[in-house]
Amino acid sequence: MRKPYLTAALLLLIASACTKNNDAEMQAIPSSDELSFVADDTIPHVCIDKYSGTQPIVMDKADGGPETQAVYLGGTKWANGKTLRIFFLNGSDLLQDKVLKYARKWSGVANVNFTVSNNKAYSDIRVGFKVGGDRGSWSYFGTDAEKYRKGQQTMNFGWFNSQTDEREFSHTIVHEFGHAIGLAHEQLSPVAKINWDKPKVYKLYMSSPNNWTKEEVDQNIFNKYGTNQVKNTKFDPKSIMQYPVPANLTTDGVAIGYNYLLSATDKAFVANLYPGGGTPSGEPADL
């Protein structure tokens, strides 16, 4: 999705190949015995922004985005307190349960909730798994799903199966539902300072399994938001919305690891964006 079309909170990045989330909550995420997550990490499992068909949207004071946390663009924020209805186009009970579990991590800190709907026509977010053989993961941004894509698929998970590691479910589902409530990628922040080795980045993402075009690489990785389009503060390397960056994709060898959980800035930002929320009954605030 092109950057003028997003409601976004861009927040993240880890500045070392050895950097890891040290939160105690991270230790609570079990690792699957059926999948080598180290091997899985070598695959660039990252989502691709989706075009929404909207007209350019520029942040203004009426949007009320907080100026002390992250980055926010106006236009795709849902009504505060809204319960978003998820319709599943396909997928096993196991995969559907994982999606609902990790989508609700946002409800622990923001005034936005999720429920399953059996009525496609009256749903807000329409989730599919590898629909039409699509092996990518993506989501439309915020209200674009309702306003411009009524009745059509608005989110896809292309690499999940019954053996997927629990950390990968967390990493990908929480990230995609960040998009679904209006957040965008942190590497597109105007203040993001990643010294990309561009030829290597193009080579990686234009090859299998992503097979992106050069334009898609530019839109998802290199084309930052303009300072006149967003309100932003400092870069947050721990945000769930950040791509992982291998050291060999930068000219200075600085890497950004996988983020599996909401960062402190993620939580503060969405609590400000959707105020009055909290942990739903029976739902843990974190993993």
* Residue 82 included in any domain: yes
* Residue 129 included in any domain: yes
User: With contact defined as beta carbons under 8 Å apart, do 279 and 271 qualify?
Assistant: no
* Residue 45 included in any domain: yes
The type of residue at 234 is K
Q: Which pLDDT belongs to residue 248?
A: 92
Q: Which pLDDT belongs to residue 244?
A: 86
* Residue 81 included in any domain: yes
Q: Give just the sign of the alpha carbon dihedral 52, 145, 126, 140.
A: positive
Question: The domain that contains 12 carries what CATH number?
Answer: 3.40.390.10
Average of per-residue pLDDT across 159-183 = 92
Q: How confident is the model at residue 283 (pLDDT cuts 50, 70, 90)?
A: very low
Q: How confident is the model at residue 214 (pLDDT cuts 50, 70, 90)?
A: very high
Residue 195 or residue 44, greater confidence: 195
Q: Which pLDDT belongs to residue 230?
A: 61
Q: In total, how many domains does the chain have? A: 1
Q: Which of 54-68, 79-93, 150-164, 199-213 has the highest mean pLDDT?
A: 79-93
* Residue 135 included in any domain: yes
* DSSP per residue, 104-151: TTGGGTSS-EEEE-S-GGG-SEEEEESGGG----EE--TTHHHHT-TT
Burial class (CB in 10 A: 0-12, 13-18, 19+), 38: exposed
User: With contact defined as beta carbons under 8 Å apart, do 112 and 81 qualify?
Assistant: yes
* Residue 287 included in any domain: no
- Tell me what the pLDDT averaged over the chain comes to: 75
* Residue 137 included in any domain: yes
* Residue 279 included in any domain: no
User: With contact defined as beta carbons under 8 Å apart, do 54 and 144 qualify?
Assistant: yes
What is the per-residue pLDDT across 71-119, written as a single tens digit (0 to 9) for each? 555 678 899 999 999 999 999 999 999 999 999 999 999 999 999 999 9
Q: For residues 106 and 111, what is the distance between their CA atoms, to the nearest angstrom?
A: 8
pTM of the model: 0.77
Domain that holds residue 95: 3-273
What is the per-residue pLDDT across 223-263, written as a single tens digit (0 to 9) for each? 887 776 665 657 787 889 888 888 999 999 998 888 899 99
Burial class (CB in 10 A: 0-12, 13-18, 19+), 218: middle
Q: Does the bond joining 209 to the residue before it have cis omega, within 30 degrees of 0?
A: yes
